[in-house]
Chain A
Amino acid sequence: MVRADRSAGPWRRLWPYVRRYRQSFSLGFLSIVTGTAVQLTSPWVLKLAVDDLTLGVTRTKLLYYAGLTLAIACVGGFFRFLTRRVIVGISRHIEYDLRNDFFGHLQRFPMGYFQATRTGDLMSRATNDLNAVRMMVGPSIMYSASTVLTFIVAILAMLSLDAWLTLVALAPLPLVSISVKVFGSAIHRRFERIQAQLSDISAIAQEALSGVRVVRAYGQEPEELERFRRANQEYVDRNRGLIRLQGVFYPSMTLFLGLGALLVLWQGSIEVIEGRITVGDLVAFNAYLVMLAWPMIAFGWVTNMLQRGLASWKRMLEVLDEQPAFGDASTAHTTPPAAPPAGMKGRIEFRDLTFAYNGRPVLEGISVAIEPGQTVALVGPTGSGKSTLISFLPRLNDPPPGTVFLDGVDIRTLPLASLRAAIGFVPQEAFLFSDTLADNVSFAPEVASLDGPAREAAVRESAAVARLDKDVADFPKGYETMVGERGITLSGGQKQRTALARAIAMNPRVLVLDDALSAVDTYTEEEILSRLRGVMRERTSIIVSHRISTVREADLILVLDDGRIVERGTHDTLVAEDGAYAELHRQQLLEEALAES
């Protein structure tokens, strides 16, 4: 990770990435200079050859000039080859460094960041913007350097041939610059208007396509088509304006440069006839003028690349300047994964925990101590704060200081990596990676790095506890089955069970299930719970669930409502109390009866 002063300007922030390739950059510049200089000598050879041809020449001399022309091209070509390889190569290296840093940085953001930021937005910064930055540090440097050099040297050479003729030839030049300026900004404005219209078209289509049922039900297809047609027509109309401009702009470039050539031919011929310059001078002069054409065109193009690159780099900096989670370096990719801390008991305590989010109280005065080996269940309606409460344990959300303790230590003072190594967390929405089942189950680094048979055994054991084994038996490739986009699609229940196996495999001191079996049928859930009880005898479990059947056997049941613990006790005592829990219990008995009918 490149460190830099965060308050520095965007150019300064780019410097550390550029600096490490400064030697290659020097080589690149050297080869640009040499290559351009060498190539600019070829019109001079032409001049000598033509002059000799008018004054009388030998066969050897002709051969010599021909050889020289070829030699110059070979040397120049070699340096051009070198330039491209070095400079564009560097840009690929910088792209690689930036992409790695960008990803490494993202890895340290807290959960909230990813909830608040659209994935597509981050993706576009890591792809489109990164590419624009690369173009800025690579090709645009290459082109602008050679453009400036060619420009200076060619004009110097022309001046040394004939100062007056140079002035005449360059007379249309201001026209070129003016039209680049005038047309350039007008084209830019129109281009933006076109882009805006394109996003209107997208918005209209998006709206109608996502509301397809309403459109069909009210027979609005012709109207939608008409709305789309109008937006589309407007797009064509706006493009018409741009095309008209571009149609004039590019040909006028050719025209201005052609005018230069015309003036040279006209004025030059007169001067040759009057004997002030030779035919060779005139021919060479023309050749230099042709060489100038390229910098003229490249100029607008390069400034465009630089502008885009800078804007994109600023967008990337918005992400890179974001502070990582909790400033804890133990989870940075540069730190090797922490082993689970030895001797940890797994005693958890919430001490008078009150938490508000966006000014709205989510949890109030939560106090509970959970002994090692206990199983505690949380029940309560949606939005009562259950998920928020357990999200503090692996610090997915940061609890207020002095409220959450593991073995008597405030979890905020523990290294993030050791804390997370102690806690196996199974979320409701199981996220699996497009890898094999075995890779997904052995996701934790300490399991993934086991050697073949040991890893396989760990996968099998935890899959058996999570009752994934009976499903895997039906897969032809067993645990080597690919899941996700390029593999099979697992059902919601299978995904949840894989996520459970993944957490069990890491052998955690504390297992947290956040409504993690909601998509598993009750019979299988029963099996899983009884197997879990065997594995978790020595460990602490916290289970959030909507189902009474899941929490019935817990040592302690907490009923949450509106951020507070409203009831606590075992299944039997709570049913006897005839409160909210008992209500829930009755309701579920009815649901069960319904499901069986």
Chain B
Amino acid sequence: MAAHEEEVLGKAYDSRLMRRLLSYLWPYKWQALTALGAIITNSALQLAPPYLTKLAIDEHIAVGRLEGLGTIAALFLGALAGSFVMDYLQTWLMQMTGQRIMFDLRMQIYGRLQQLDLRFYDRNPVGRLMTRVTSDVDVLNDLFTAGVVAIFGDIFTLLGIMVVLVVMDWRLALVTFAVLPLIALVTQWFRRNVRDSYRTVRMWIARINAFLQENITGMTTVQLFRREAMNYGRFDDINAKHRAANIDSIFYYAVFYPAIEIIGALAAALIIWYGGLRVMEGVVTLGALVAFLQYSARFFRPISDMSEKFNVLQSAMASSERIFTLIDEPVAVQDPDAPAHRDPRQAPHVRFEHVWFAYVGEDYVLKDVSFEVLPGERIGIVGATGSGKTTLINLLMRFYNVSRGRILIDGVDIRELALEDVRAMCALVLQDVHLFSGTIGDNIRLGEPLSEEAVQRAAVAVGADRFISALPLGYKSPLGERGSSLSVGQKQLLSFARALAFDRPVLVLDEATSSVDTETELLIRQALEVLMRGRTTLAIAHRLSTIQDMDRILVLHKGVLRESGTHQELLAERGIYYKLYQLQFQERGAEVARRE
């Protein structure tokens, strides 16, 4: 399951990943640079208030002079207003850039998903792919909006304060900076321990989730075997370990924040003591002392902030690793460098030559299959479940590449043709009709610019118009989730209308008639007649009755093409087809007997 993969925590900082992430920032370099400028300006402006306080005390209060105080107030107001503007500018630019990068990343991921072959989809459940498109990208947004940028701001604030302090009085500044090694020490200690305990907590929460998931899914088994008490005990055990790990990590936080404050107070105490002495000596003004105190209070806030950013960085690295793995996934089925083109409206001559195929490893589901389909021919494909029927279609549509052998279309290897031309030749109808959210009309025309008339003509021809027109909104009726408002038969008719509207020379039916009731079946059979008219047809059928009239029937058995011929010829052969036919005849008989 994906959960384990999602829990893996990598390094907090990986320069290779970081460089690649920053490349997404490149198109927005001007916005980013402007934002950086705003951040620096803002840091500088925020240095003003303590300094203005110093001026007010030294130049006005100490000497009892009121005039000029207005200038200081005006400057103060100016700094506030400037800081407001810069802050707004910075937030706006950086957050919008973050949004645009997310947009770009999502489009890139989604674009890659549209290219990857079905083998990839076999390996990766849709839920996992969804996580890549949604939450993994969201995590990266935090990096751009909260993480990287804020760290820059913090660094500039720190540097700015240090410069101002040194300029005001370098001796007092040095005394104040004496606490810096302590800060470094405490932060180091905190970071090291928190990282470890964060890992432990994550590990236990992953265990809790896995255990819960498994026990909820298998709850019936738990109950049947009266394991409630024992499994509760095991859950309690994991739960308690998770609690212990968390309480451990509280300790580090509980020590860290007060410790930083105490160090801050130590700096204040040093300023009061040493600064006070300097004031007594008349070297430092009272205003400067007050300003020193105010600056030092601002000095420690960014430091405790920075350790919080650490977590953002860590999860961003893990997410970007997963996203890049997907983006880098090689596309196995794609256009050749110089694709051959053929007119997809032309009926093809299809030839399978010694085709072998395995979904996994050497586990072949098709073994040395060869056959030919002439333009306009109607071919039925039969065989038991797992005999490889659907695989034949998957290969013809080039959803997968053949493992061995080749498929020729008008004498050209399918792998040398443009993918688009191959697929645009066939109209595919599946047993499970896939409907999209949107109206009924949208589901017939999909993304093609077909007129209302063309859509309706197709629906009329397959007999779907009757139920569609009966709906209050007709072709504009919205479909519920996956067409939940329609019956199975109606959905099937809709997919027929879709196939007809696309008007392609080859019709491919994958068990398209197997799951409907008898009345709908009649409708569908009539629709099929319309669909097949003038088209090359390849139909997989479970019910032999639907393919009896085909020009040729191919019988697949355990991945091997065993028989081929017309209904009558195959019956006369008394082989597999004959047995299948008898079996179905029996089944139908039993069914009829039961219904009566």
Interface residues of A (CB under 8 A from B): 42, 46, 49-50, 53-54, 57, 59, 62-63, 65-67, 69-70, 72-74, 76-78, 80-82, 84-85, 88-89, 92-93, 95-96, 99-100, 103-104, 106-109, 111, 114, 119, 122-123, 126-127, 198, 201-229, 232-233, 235-236, 239-240, 243-244, 246-248, 250-252, 254-255, 258-259, 261-262, 265-266, 269-270, 272-273, 279, 282-283, 286, 290, 331-338, 381, 394, 396, 417, 420-421, 423, 425, 427, 431, 433-434, 443-445, 448, 485-486, 502, 506, 561, 580, 583-584, 586-587, 590-591, 593-594, 597
Contacts and interface: CB of A to CB of B under 8 A. Distances in A.
A590 B121 contact: no
Given A337-B227, A421-B226, A506-B225, A209 B130 contact: yes
A261 B262 CA distance: 25
Given A70-B265, A203-B437, A583-B586, A107 B88 contact: no
Given A85-B251, A114-B219, A236-B99, A594 B60 contact: no
B27 to A, nearest CB: 14
B219 to A, nearest CB: 5
Contacts of A338: 226
A196 B254 CA distance: 38
Interface string B228-239: 111111011001
9 contacts: A76-B261, A96-B240, A100-B235, A217-B426, A228-B107, A266-B73, A270-B69, A283-B290, A594-B580
A77 B225 CA distance: 53
Interface SS of B by simple majority: helix
A255 B85 CA distance: 10
B446 A223 contact: yes
A583 B589 contact: yes
Interface in B283-318: 286, 289-290, 293-294, 297
Nearest to A584: B590
A485 B1 contact: yes
B170 interface: no
Given A89-B250, A279-B286, A425-B224, A99 B208 contact: yes
A209 B111 CA distance: 12
A337 B229 contact: yes
Interface in B102-148: 102-103, 106-107, 110-111, 113-115, 118, 121, 126, 129-130, 133-134
A261 B229 contact: no
B220 A396 contact: yes
Given A66-B272, A266-B69, A336-B229, A209 B220 contact: no
B428 A214 contact: yes
Nearest to B268: A69
Contacts of A104: 232
B428 A444 contact: no
B107 A587 contact: no
B255 interface: yes
A265 B239 CA distance: 54
Contacts of A100: 232, 235-236, 239
Contacts of A227: 447
A130 to B, nearest CB: 10
B229, B270, B508: most-surrounded residue (chain A CB, <10 A): B229
B423 interface: yes
B276 interface: yes
Contact of A209 (B113, B227, B430): B113
B133 A201 contact: yes
B250 A119 contact: no
Contact of B126 (A209, A233, A270, A421): A209
A84 B114 contact: no
Interface in B210-230: 210, 212-230
A502 B118 contact: no
Contacts of B235: 100, 103
B61 interface: yes
A420 B250 contact: no
A123 B272 contact: no
Contact of A254 (B4, B84, B222): B84
A223 B436 CA distance: 12
B230 to A, nearest CB: 5
Given A217-B428, A431-B220, A202 B213 contact: no
B363 to A, nearest CB: 12
A247 B273 CA distance: 41
Contact of B229 (A123, A214, A445): A445
A336 B230 CA distance: 9
Interface of B: 1, 4, 49, 52-53, 56-57, 60-61, 64-66, 69, 72-73, 76-77, 80-81, 83-84, 87-88, 91-92, 95-96, 99-100, 102-103, 106-107, 110-111, 113-115, 118, 121, 126, 129-130, 133-134, 205, 208-210, 212-233, 235-236, 239-240, 242-243, 246-247, 250-251, 253-255, 257-259, 261-262, 264-266, 268-270, 272-273, 276-277, 279-280, 286, 289-290, 293-294, 297, 384, 397, 399, 420, 423-424, 426-428, 430, 434, 436-437, 446-447, 482, 498, 502, 508, 557, 575-576, 579-580, 582-583, 586-587, 589-590, 593-594
Contacts of B114: 215, 221, 224-225
Contacts of A444: 225-227
B60 A251 contact: no
Given A53-B289, A217-B426, A587-B586, 16 more contacts: A49-B272, A59-B280, A63-B273, A70-B262, A70-B269, A84-B254, A88-B250, A96-B240, A107-B223, A119-B217, A127-B208, A209-B121, A216-B399, A219-B420, A337-B230, A597-B579
Complex A-B, nearest 6 residue pairs according to Cβ-Cβ distance, in ascending order: A223-B447, A73-B265, A77-B258, A333-B232, A251-B87, A211-B434
A334 B233 CA distance: 10
B258 A80 contact: yes
Given A214-B428, A219-B423, A57 B80 contact: no
A440 to B, nearest CB: 10
Nearest to B87: A251
A92 B80 contact: no
B265 A247 contact: no
B80 A96 contact: no
Contacts of A88: 250, 253-254
Nearest to A333: B232
Contacts of B259: 77
Contacts of B4: 485-486
A577 to B, nearest CB: 13
Contacts of A50: 286, 289-290
A261 B230 contact: no
A72 B579 contact: no
Contact of B262 (A73, A92, A265): A73
A417 B254 contact: no
Contact of B134 (A49, A198, A434): A198
A444 to B, nearest CB: 5
A243 B96 contact: yes
Given A42-B265, A119-B213, A420 B69 contact: no
A209 B240 CA distance: 40
Contacts of B594: 381, 561, 580
B76 A262 contact: yes
B189 to A, nearest CB: 15
Nearest to B265: A73
Contact of A431 (B49, B217, B502): B217
B577 to A, nearest CB: 10
Contacts of A425: 224
A246, A255, A261, A433: most-surrounded residue (chain B CB, <10 A): A433
Contacts of A445: 225-227, 229-230
A205 B40 CA distance: 40
Given A209-B129, A583-B586, A127 B73 contact: no
Contacts of B590: 580, 583-584, 587
A521 B584 CA distance: 23
Given A80-B261, A107-B232, A225 B111 contact: yes
Contacts of B397: 216-217
A261 B294 CA distance: 12
